[in-house]
Structure 1
Amino acid sequence: MVHLNALALHGSLRDPVLGSLGFLNEVMGRYPEAISFAPGAPHPDFLTDLDPHRYTERFLEHLVHEEGHTPARARRLLFEYGPSRGLINKIVADALRRDQGIDVPPSSIVVTVGAQEAMLLVLRALFRTRDDVLAVANPCFVGITGAARLLDIDIVPVDENDDGIDVDALAAACATARREGRRVRACYVAPDFSNPGGNRMSPQLRTRLLDLAEREDLLLIEDNVYGFTALSGDALPVLKALDPGRRVIHIGTFAKVCFPGARVGYVVADQPVDDPGGARLLADELTALKTMVTVNTSPLSQAVIAGMLLENGGSLHALTHRKAELYRRNLGCLMDALDRHLDGVAPGIHWNRPQGGFFVRMHLPVPADTALLETSASKYGVLWTPMAQFYLDGAGDRQLRLACSYLDPEQIETGVRRLATFLTKEIRS
């Protein structure tokens, strides 16, 4: 029987991030009764009344009455492989134009298997040599850093502050790369309530970032998963809506606004590509890559998502209004409970105060490592996520992330009480 040498497999398989995520899942499995602030998942209440059959029928009606297909042809479209670019691109384009001010033709959109595939396709297309590096906010969502490591793309961390990514530090990173004979090809940013930092970029910072991208000839990969949780009237324009130079590649997902099991995301890639064979868009290149990765995104899953949008007038805002209210409620409950139960528990414990999103970041005076997490779960019945895995420079070892999206107010209250007991007994001892 053959035995494979672990050192002969791709280096990404030994990445600490993969191990830490596996450990977190394993701990959650061993302590199912613990209250978990770990998963940034949609609230289960939004999964109980889903009716995929009804949504699919609504999309079939659209194909027949709006796009002119016969009923038989419309139904066949859901059972075949389908176009690699996607089946619901026009519906997605209309929603983005209506609700986010992103005015692009359907041909510039690729419907993907979640946002994760979109990230992988974009990185594979953009990064040709090891001289191209990816800048990311530090701390950063592990999905993008993990995809970069799978593709052997070098990553440059750029610190965040309370206002989002440090634009001056990004400019310095670009200058350093040039001196080394390299270039920052793209920068990944999450402008609204980033995971895990919870920061939100101000309007001024968004403008500065776009100006820097133009000066430095770099692309911005925008991930705006949590923007829908902003207070009504407090929404800020996404970077792509402020992008006359087409510097922004916009990535989105329906996991949070519809449901994650559909595994449907999208990428807006309207950048022209000079090609002797004729005019092309970056979306065309991503489509070509997708044919070799997943062939296409499930037409049935796309039909369900499209039906949900159509039932809500084709509007993402209408679809997410009730969800956003619940997530803002949960975040408020978490902040209130932290203020009541943890204020003054021990020196050096403090947390940020995001205005939206799913996450709160807490600082401790001791390492928030897997050993401390094990103690928290086994002795006190409360789970959280160590922040070190989100950093690329060894920082964050004394921080943890609390996610509140998956819980009810009673669970949040009980969980914070347990967290306070845990911190009081373990940090002071």
Structure 2
Amino acid sequence: MSDRLTLPLADLHGSLADPLLDAMTFLNEVTERYPDALSFAPGRPHEGFFETDSVAEYLEVYLDHLRERGLTEAQVRTALFQYGPTKGIIGDLIARTLANDEGLTVDPASVVVTVGAQEGMLLVLRALCAGPQDVLLVSSPCYVGVTGAARLLDIATVPVPEGDPAALAATARRLRAEGRRPRALYVVPDFANPSGTSMPVEARAELLEVAAAEGLLVIEDNPYGFFAREPGERPTLKALDHRQQVVYLGSFAKTCFPGARLGYLIADQVVRAPDGSTTLLADQLAKLKSMTTVNTPALSQAVIGGLLIAHDFRLREANAPATAYYAANLTTLLTELERHFPAAERERLGVGWNEPEGGYFTVLTVPFTADTAAMERCAAKYGVLWTPMADFYPDGGGEHRLRLSISALTADQITDGVARLADFVRAEAG
């Protein structure tokens, strides 16, 4: 065994030594180490809304849909079991759903069905960033999935304060003055991960104007928009997009179930070749996909397609019980934080939190360093897990903040968890 090949980490891609790539894995591992801890860490949907029998039911609904379209049994079998079109087989069903839920008029040809929204991020970044001078702007704090994807592709990221169009313009101009090319802005306008904040309508319109003036595309990621207390209160950036400057990323992980690993992107931008011919950006992204995952599993598409058909292409209505559940959980969290940290004690300890209007996440500010070591102390001694915020700040920051997610817990667990967390915060502050 002495001559067994060993690969020096320094000889592998630099991203493998980046602590950022360990962030998601660490949270999974620490949860396994403390299985009895109440966990405010995972950003996953509540399992009480899943029924195993529904998978077979939705699959049969989709197969019946194909038969009603006139496909023979042999063609139905091929559609389910064989490799399919790279752009996917349910783009038309997704387009119909977006029309109902988001007021979006989408050409199915502009839809690419992806293996989760994460693949969509990789495809878009790979296509848009062509050279070392290209830069991706990201709202800060930012979801680690997109900064991690950029790191894998050797794409530089530059943070912009969340929801600040003026800062976006200033940053883009500074980068151009340095000889770099700001290419796109990644943003989660609704109940962002990790901050839980949402952009006001006025800021959305201003952001699109600034992006147009600075020649930027906008990559809008919208996994949580369905969970608004008041549906339709704020239109998506894509719904406000009159210049085809927004590439839209969607996911069925939160609205249907994560195990399907199904996402999609809308890329209706026109791409002009040197000979003058044109295609959609979606077609160019499909080329990239053909060399990565080849196509998205037809079985997952069939199940999600059947779910969309069964609910008359209206996911907002289908998710109404989940939306109410998460809203009630969020109210419980905020109420319990207020009860355990009344105003006088908040001021004395230096504790505070934001109050999102929906979604999964709230950010708690504490007077100590809320790092992974602190999280493990909290889990071991107080039986509570949470997520450190520092990994979500590309240029540093967030050391005194932690993310609390309410999606996977019950109201009673949240009540118990906040009481334990309050004891931990007081102990650390003391």
Give TM-score, length-normalised by structure 2.
Answer: 0.96
Partners in 2 of 1:120 and 1:135 — Cα distance?
A: 15
Aligned pairs (5 A) from 1:198-237 = 198-233=196-231, 235-237=233-235
- 1:355 corresponding residue in structure 2: 357
Contact between 2:368 and 2:428, CA under 8 Å: does it hold in 1?
no
Contact between 1:229 and 1:357, CA under 8 Å: does it hold in 2?
yes
User: How far does the alpha carbon of each residue in 1:69-95 deviate from its partner, in whole angstroms, 9 at most, with x for none?
Assistant: 113311320100111100001000111
1:185 matches 2:183: yes
User: How far does the alpha carbon of each residue in 1:349-368 deviate from its partner, in whole angstroms, 9 at most, with x for none?
Assistant: 11000001100001111110
User: How far does the alpha carbon of each residue in 1:305-344 deviate from its partner, in whole angstroms, 9 at most, with x for none?
Assistant: 0111111011121222111111111111111111112332
Farther-moved stretch of structure 1 (67-76 vs 222-231) = 67-76
Contact between 1:60 and 1:71, CA under 8 Å: does it hold in 2?
no
Partners in 2 of 1:182 and 1:365 — Cα distance?
A: 38
User: How far does the alpha carbon of each residue in 1:36-91 deviate from its partner, in whole angstroms, 9 at most, with x for none?
Assistant: 000010001012355111101101111111x3211331132010011110000100
Say which SS state the counterpart of residue 125 (structure 1) adopts: helix
Farther-moved stretch of structure 1 (134-143 vs 340-349) = 340-349
- 1:29 corresponding residue in structure 2: 32
Partners in 1 of 2:60 and 2:13 — Cα distance?
A: 44
- 1:40 corresponding residue in structure 2: 43
Contact between 1:227 and 1:235, CA under 8 Å: does it hold in 2?
no
Structure 1 ranges of 4+ moved more than 4 A: none
Contact between 1:239 and 1:248, CA under 8 Å: does it hold in 2?
yes
Residues 62 and 234 of structure 1: CA distance in aligned 2, closer, same or farther (over 3 Å) = closer
Partners in 1 of 2:44 and 2:230 — Cα distance?
A: 22
- Which residue of 112, 115, 135 maps to 2:114? 112
Partners in 2 of 1:233 and 1:38 — Cα distance?
A: 26
Q: CA deviation at 1:141?
A: 0.3
- 1:292 corresponding residue in structure 2: 291
- 1:323 corresponding residue in structure 2: 322
- 1:94 corresponding residue in structure 2: 96
Tell me, which stretches of 5 or more residues in structure 1 are unaligned?
Answer: none
Give the counterpart letter for 1:38 in structure 2. Answer: A
Aligned pairs (5 A) from 1:211-360 = 211-233=209-231, 235-275=233-273, 276=275, 278-343=277-342, 344=345, 346-360=348-362
Give TM-score, length-normalised by structure 1.
Answer: 0.96
Contact between 1:177 and 1:184, CA under 8 Å: does it hold in 2?
yes
Farther-moved stretch of structure 1 (288-297 vs 10-19) = 10-19
Contact between 2:116 and 2:264, CA under 8 Å: does it hold in 1?
yes
Contact between 1:338 and 1:416, CA under 8 Å: does it hold in 2?
yes
| Count of matched residue pairs | 423
- 1:14 corresponding residue in structure 2: 17
1:421 matches 2:406: no
Q: CA deviation at 1:426?
A: 2.2
- Which residue of 377, 388, 404 maps to 2:390? 388
Contact between 1:192 and 1:201, CA under 8 Å: does it hold in 2?
yes
Say which SS state the counterpart of residue 327 (structure 1) adopts: helix
Say which SS state the counterpart of residue 170 (structure 2) adopts: helix
User: How far does the alpha carbon of each residue in 1:141-171 deviate from its partner, in whole angstroms, 9 at most, with x for none?
Assistant: 00100000000000010112xxxx2111110
Give the counterpart letter for 2:308 in structure 1. Answer: L
User: How far does the alpha carbon of each residue in 1:160-193 deviate from its partner, in whole angstroms, 9 at most, with x for none?
Assistant: 2xxxx21111101111111111121000011111
Say which SS state the counterpart of residue 137 (structure 1) adopts: strand
- 1:72 corresponding residue in structure 2: 74
Aligned pairs (5 A) from 1:361-380 = 361-380=363-382
How high is the sequence identity, in percent, across the aligned residues? Answer: 51
Give the counterpart letter for 1:374 in structure 2. Answer: E
Partners in 1 of 2:316 and 2:32 — Cα distance?
A: 35
Partners in 1 of 2:258 and 2:24 — Cα distance?
A: 18
Partners in 2 of 1:311 and 1:25 — Cα distance?
A: 33
Residues 77 and 325 of structure 1: CA distance in aligned 2, closer, same or farther (over 3 Å) = same
Give the counterpart letter for 1:281 in structure 2. Answer: L
Give the counterpart letter for 1:290 in structure 2. Answer: K
Partners in 2 of 1:133 and 1:352 — Cα distance?
A: 30
User: How far does the alpha carbon of each residue in 1:177-220 deviate from its partner, in whole angstroms, 9 at most, with x for none?
Assistant: 11111121000011111000111111110110111111111100
Partners in 2 of 1:50 and 1:337 — Cα distance?
A: 36
Contact between 2:349 and 2:429, CA under 8 Å: does it hold in 1?
no
Contact between 1:60 and 1:75, CA under 8 Å: does it hold in 2?
no
Say which SS state the counterpart of residue 362 (structure 2) adopts: strand
Say which SS state the counterpart of residue 349 (structure 2) adopts: coil
Contact between 1:63 and 1:74, CA under 8 Å: does it hold in 2?
yes
Farther-moved stretch of structure 1 (238-247 vs 17-26) = 17-26
Say which SS state the counterpart of residue 178 (structure 1) adopts: helix
